[in-house]
Amino acid sequence: MCGICGLAVRSGPAPDLQLLTRMCDTLVHRGPDDQGILLRDGVGLGVRRLAIIDPVGGHQPIHNEGKTTWIVFNGEIYNFPELRERLQDTGHRFYTHTDTEVIVHAYDEWGEGCVERLNGVFAFAIWDSRRGRLFLARDRLGVKPLYYALTPERLAFASELKALLSIPGLRRAVDLAALDDYLALEYVPSPRCIIAGIQKLPPGHTLTWDQVGGVACPRRYWDVDLTAGEQQPDRTPVAQHAEELRSVLLECVRKELIADVPLGVFLSGGIDSSTVTAMMTRLLPGKVHSFSIGFTDRSFDESGYAREVAAHLGTNHHEMIFETSMLTDLVPTVTQMMDEPLADASIVPTYLLSRFARESVTVALGGDGGDELFAGYPTLLAHRLAAYYQRMPAVMRDRLVPALVGRLPVSMDNISLDFKLKRFVDGAGYSVGERHARWLGSFTREQRAELLSPEVKAALDDSQPTDLVAEHLARHRFVDPLNSVLYLDMKMYLENDILVKLDRASMMASLEARVPLLNVDLVEHVARLPISLKLRGRESKFLLKRALHDVLPDRILGRGKKGFGMPVAKWLRGPLREMALAALSPEKIEREGFFQPAYVQRLLEEHLSGRKDNRKPLWTLLVFERWYDTYVAASPPVARPAFAVDRP
């Protein structure tokens, strides 16, 4: 696990040691163990290393036999022992025992197609001095981040945005298309970035930059295919499917246990983390260390379930219970560390859990990805119910039900029935993509029209940025609309929210977090299954539960989804009230020019008075303002134009 960065130029000053060191310094939390820099041929590669495999001999950048190919690498390649053996058989000679060196030789042997042979999570850059090419690659699901900035003169890249922002002269203009997406979705989807002129390399893509011509050629090498499960009727018995799934699960977890440092598992007591823990205990009986945190506020505390699973599976369980104030105290720190806005408040407890686990281990496996893979989100069932809702008589659907739901009393509770019902009714009548965004996001299209300033709206109207949700949905023709939702969740929410949250929170604590449920072997296996084996009737994760029926307690398998649901509505009226009032003051909003001050003030007044639950829009705005103050407003004025619109 590492933080990587680099800069390659066609003309002008070559990267120097001072610049690469400054870029690396922004990534120390991702790699506290070592630093390496390569400067040659107008190219600079930098890396901060968290040593996991071959801690002594794995210093990067790493090269091939002739020192003509060099790599900086973030991630883990789980099938590297097999690839190493195969490459040695064809004559390649190795000087380390790392997975990093295997990629260099795989590139020499198979060219850019080497990525298709890698089972792992990765973001890497290879400098091929023989061809004068810089080759960037990102893993299939987007577990590891990779930002880049391309101009006619140069290509710069980094694991985090803050490393690119340390390059002198790089402008800090907010990309309005990315801002609009963020307000709608609560995250910035790739390939967009909140800073204009910078992009994210999408998952399952490579990018080749030619130093002579300055041409950058992106290429898609993988995409999840959910259409296979729609092709023909499934006649395989459920018991056989369950046995096959359990076998694949066990093998994927086995692959991801490779490490030369202590490792453990995040255990929340939910079915996904419990599944990973169960597989680990079968492979390492008596040696598994599990980690969970709990809170004195029982409305979002899951520690009891985690203890139950740990006792059932026989793990060495580590638990710490925190006061709720610990979370709100961390909000300023965590939001300041995030160099791109993300309005998922559960990043705070995720960081707390990562920091706790890092006291004992360097690597932790988790259950992220299970909901997207096995249809675990309640919204899947809501989409199915929306089809019935749309068949209701118009007078009931359009007038009676919305009127009744609108009269429900406002509740600021963490699990709020009125909040959920109002969002369901608001989105049920729209197309799948728009409905999904309305249910999960903060600001609808109509609300953004009220929120955004006239200047921002005019700029967006003139540029007409691409609708990324529509682009994803146009890529495949699904028979079952629920597969469209699953695909959107994997291509949008999983990559840009769940995995960003996990990567940033764990890396803040210098902990490597692994996601065996997103191992490509398991993803491709589950993608071939029909939707009826994932969501059957009202039961989510149907096949996964069948595969584990004799492994986990029935009480755990029958649990509803909970997760780290933070009491944001109460926070904004309590311990974070003053922070919100300062960040969203009319004077500040007016000065920045993005939003209508009166609209923002109305959101605040409604929420603080208890007339309306505006937790999602207010938290989204608060996170953006915290980001803007840290990464744009605090930068030198010469690097701070108002805003721009990129169309990647």
Give catalytic residue positions: 2
Please check whether residue 50 is in contact with residue 31, taking contact to mean a CB–CB distance below 8 angstroms: yes
DSSP 303-320: HHHHHHHHHHHT-EEEEE
Report d(CA 154, CA 105) in Å as an integer: 26
Tokens encoding 286? 């008596």
Please check whether residue 64 is in contact with residue 104, taking contact to mean a CB–CB distance below 8 angstroms: yes
Please check whether residue 440 is in contact with residue 379, taking contact to mean a CB–CB distance below 8 angstroms: yes
Strands (E), 129-192: 133-138, 147-150, 154-158, 174-175
Strand pairing partners for 121? 76
Report d(CA 208, CA 229) in Å as an integer: 34
Q: For 168-184, b where at least 16 C-beta lie within 10 A, e where not — what string?
A: eebebbbbbbbbbbbbb
- Amino acid at the residue 163: A
Tokens encoding 314? 């026989």
DSSP 205-273: EEEEEETTT--EEEEE------SGGGSS---S-HHHHHHHHHHHHHHHHHHTT--SS-EEEE--SSHHH
Please check whether residue 216 is in contact with residue 165, taking contact to mean a CB–CB distance below 8 angstroms: no
Tokens encoding 573? 């009226």
